Amino acid sequence: MIVERIKTNIRKEAVEITSIVAKHVKGIKSGIVVVYVPHTTAGITINEAFDPAVMEDVLNEYMRLIPYSNKYKHLEGNADAHIQVILTGSSITVPIEDGELALGRWQGIFFMEFDGPRNRKIYIKIIEG
């Protein structure tokens, strides 16, 4: 398993990591890659990478739907982040063909930070076949 580190700079942030994942699948004829985030306040997703405003809109909607302050029982002050991760998910799977990620034309892989800034990890597992 490959471990990569991601440094986030603000509390809510979408960091495109497509190139980080892509460099590890070079030379793989066929298979899948699983990208997993081992954190409870950060997630991973696939969405449009062409227009950065898309992910800005996504984060704004997350904050509108699940506000920072509410009548949460979790005392650490980051209950919103835990809930937002449930909507995003903690892993993705992408097919690999001829050393490339089989993503759609506009798609990219995003690390979703909901409780930053922090130093985070992503796990990348490549399964050939």
pLDDT at 75: 83
Flag residues of the chain having pLDDT under 50.
none
Q: What length is written for the chain?
A: 129
Domain segments of the chain: what residues? 2-128
pTM for the full predicted model: 0.96
pLDDT at 41: 98
Name the amino acid, one letter, at 37.
V
> CA 29, CA 66: separation in Å to the nearest integer?
42
Rg (CA), the chain: 15
pLDDT at 69: 87
pLDDT at 52: 93
pLDDT at 117: 98
* CA nearest neighbour of 21 among 103, 78, 87: 103
Who's near 127: CB < 8 A, 6+ residues apart? 31, 32, 33, 34
Extract the runs of DSSP E, i.e. beta strands, from the chain: 2-7, 13-16, 30-36, 42-48, 91-97, 100-101, 107-113, 119-128
What's the distance, CA 59 to chain centroid? 12
Q: What is the CATH number of domain 2-128?
A: 2.60.120.460
Task: Kindly give the residue spans of alpha helices, DSSP state H, lying in the chain.
Answer: 18-25, 52-65, 79-88
